[in-house]
Every structure is written in C-alpha cells, then in structure tokens.
Structure 1
Amino acid sequence: MLRFNRILDQWLTVTTAAAIIVMMLHIVAHALARSLFDAPIYGTNEIVEYWYLPVVALLGIPAAQLQKEHITVTMAVDRARPATAAVFKIFACILGCLVSLAFAWFGLSKALDYMAIGQTADVSSVITWPVYFLVPIVFVLLAVLYVLDTIVIARTGEPDLDLTTGEPAETDLENRSY
C-alpha cells in the first residue's frame, strides 16, 4: 500500500509540475507572439482557464491528502487517547469518502452533460468538455485514499500515519501557541 501511495504521489507531483511548466511556456509564447509579431496565440486565455488551471488545482487535492497537507482542526483529537483519536479519524475518513463520492457523482453527471452538448469556452471555440471528466476521476481517487487511510488506521491504531512513508506524520504540537 505504501508503494502505491509513493508512486501515486510521484505521478501527481510530476503531472502537476508538467502542467505548470507547459502553461508557463504557453503564456510566454503567447505574450512574445502578441508583442513581437502582433499575432497572439488563439485561445490562450481559455486554454489556461479551462485546461491548465483545473488540472493543477484538481490534482493538488489528492496530493495534499497523500502528504497530509490539508488544513485540519485537531484540538479534540490531539488531546484524546490514541484509540479515541483513531475512532474519530476513521469517522472523518468515512465522511470524507462519502463526500468525495458525492462530488464524483455530481462531477460525472456534469461532465456527461457537457460532453453531450460539446461544451466550449465562453467566447471562443476552444473545446472544454473533456477536462470536466477530471473531476470524477480525482474525487474517486480521493475516496480511495480515504478508504486506504481508514484501513491503515484500523489496522495499526495509529491515527497520524503518513501514507507515503509509513512513519507517524509530522506534527508541531510543541511549537503551538494558543
């Protein structure tokens, strides 16, 4: 399971970094073509808005889950015994899985609707409907990560394991000030 998480984390990081680099190169080429040759690249704003940015934003969601980088409020769990904290974390993971599956279902229905009508960008003919299928893919992946997290917590009893290393996740309890 840890190997799957490490590979997934690397894939998400590389894919997101590649999308950012390609987006930057596209924007620079557009700016240079517009200013030097008075010939901007058609649909650059729409491609950035409807393709690059959703890829970067959506792939960051499961990456943050894998790296335990989501914002969490842990006032009650940090003060609880490990067994109680594990129960709370399992409940939170199950709830997160259900919400993720609901987002995936809604995203899939919207993606199918947009595919049926051939969704394009607002003011241009840049096709945008395929990127909407990333929403259900990402949220199903997130639900799977929640299930894996639940299994690890139930098996080990440790509520704060980093799923990429198998070690306890870093916390900064000693540096907190209330």
Structure 2
Amino acid sequence: MFTFNRVLDRWLTVTTAAAVIVMMLHIVTHALARSLFDAPISGTNEIVEYWYLPIVALLGIPAAQLQKEHITVTMAIERARPATAAVFTIFACILGALVCLAFAWFGLTRALEYMAIGQTADVSDVITWPVYFLVPIVFVLLAVLYILDAVVIALTRQPDPDMVTGAPAEHDLETRTY
C-alpha cells in the first residue's frame, strides 16, 4: 500500500511538473513569436486555460492528500485519546470519500455531455472535452486515497499516519510557517 502511495506521489509530481514546464515553454514561444515575428501561436490562451491549468490544478489535489498538505482542523481530535481520534478520523475519511465520489459522478456526467457535443474553447476550434474526464479520474483517485487512509488508520490506530512512509506523521508546530 505504501509502495502504491510512493509511486503515485512520484507520478503526480513528475506529471504536474512536466505540465508546468510545457506550459511555460508554450507561453514563452508564443510571446517570442508574437514579438519577434508578429506571428503568435494560435489558440495559446485557450490551451493554457482549458488544458494546462486544469491538469496542474487537478493533479495537485491528490498530491496534496498524499503529502498531508491539506489544511486540517483538528479541534475535535487533538485532545482526544489516540483510539477516539482514530475513530473520528476514519469517519472523516469515509465522508471525504463519499463527497469525492459524488464530485466524480457529477464530473463524469458533465464530461460525457461535453464529449457528446464536441465541446471546444469558447470561440476557437481548440477541443476541450477530453480534459473534463480528468475530473472524475482525480476524484475517484482521491476517494481511493481516503479509503486507504481509513484502512491504515484502522490498522495502526494512529489518527494521522504518513501515507508515504507508514510512520506516524510528524507535527512540529513551532517550525511550521504559513
């Protein structure tokens, strides 16, 4: 399970970084072509808006979940015993998985609608419907991560395990920066 998380974390990081680099190269090439040759790359704004940015934003959600980088409110569990905190955390994971599955279902229905009509970007001919399928994929993946979190918490009885290493997550409030 932890190997899956490590591989997934690496894949999300590399894919997101590659999307950012390709986006930057595309934008720089567009700007240089527009400035030097008065020949901008057609559809650059639409490609950035409808392809690169959704990929970067959506892949960042499960990556943040894997790295425990989401904002969490621990009022209910920080003073509880570890077993009680684990129960509350498992409940929150199950609730999070259900919400993610609802988002995935909505995203899938919307993606199928856009595929059926051949959705394009506003007034240009840039095809955008395939990127809408990333929404259900990402939210199903996030639901799976929540379920894996719940399983690991149930097995270890630790309310906040590190999902990449399996050890209890370290929290150092004195050195945390915001």
Q: Would the TM-score normalized by the shorter structure come out above 0.5?
A: yes
Sort the Cα spacing of 1:43 and 1:175 in 2 relative to 1 into closer, same or farther, 3 A. Answer: closer
- The residue that corresponds to 2:99 in the other structure is 99
- The residue that corresponds to 1:151 in the other structure is 151
Q: How far does residue 76 in structure 1 lie from its aligned partner after superposition? A: 2.0
Tell me whether 1:49 sits opposite 2:32 in the alignment. Answer: no
SS in 1 for 2:158: coil
- State the distance in 2 between where 1:175 and 1:130 align: 42
The within-5 A match list for 1:28-47 is 28-47=28-47
- The residue that corresponds to 2:5 in the other structure is 5
- State the distance in 1 between where 2:148 and 2:124 align: 42
1:143 maps to a residue whose letter is A
- State the distance in 2 between where 1:3 and 1:136 align: 24
- State the distance in 2 between where 1:145 and 1:87 align: 17
Q: How far does residue 152 in structure 1 lie from its aligned partner after superposition? A: 0.3
Q: TM-score, normalised by structure 2?
A: 0.97
Can you give the 5+ residue segments of structure 1 that lack an aligned partner in the other structure?
Answer: none
- The residue that corresponds to 1:85 in the other structure is 85
- The residue that corresponds to 1:161 in the other structure is 161
Tell me whether 1:64 sits opposite 2:70 in the alignment. Answer: no
Q: Sequence identity, in percent?
A: 84
- The residue that corresponds to 2:76 in the other structure is 76
2:159 maps to a residue whose letter is P
- The residue that corresponds to 2:22 in the other structure is 22
- The residue that corresponds to 1:132 in the other structure is 132
Can you give the 5+ residue segments of structure 2 that lack an aligned partner in the other structure?
Answer: none
2:150 maps to a residue whose letter is T
Q: TM-score, normalised by structure 1?
A: 0.97
- State the distance in 1 between where 2:175 and 2:132 align: 41
- State the distance in 2 between where 1:141 and 1:175 align: 31
- State the distance in 2 between where 1:173 and 1:42 align: 49
- Equivalent pairs, count: 176
1:62 maps to a residue whose letter is P
Q: How far does residue 175 in structure 1 lie from its aligned partner after superposition? A: 6.0
2:67 maps to a residue whose letter is Q
More helix by share: 1
Tell me whether 1:142 sits opposite 2:106 in the alignment. Answer: no
Higher mean C-alpha deviation, range 137-146 or range 68-77: 68-77
- State the distance in 1 between where 2:175 and 2:41 align: 50
- State the distance in 2 between where 1:24 and 1:167 align: 37
SS in 1 for 2:166: coil
Q: How far does residue 168 in structure 1 lie from its aligned partner after superposition? A: 1.3
For residues 24-50 of structure 1, what are the alpha-carbon distances to aligned partners after superposition, in whole Å with 9 as ceiling and x for unaligned?
A: 000000000000000000000000000
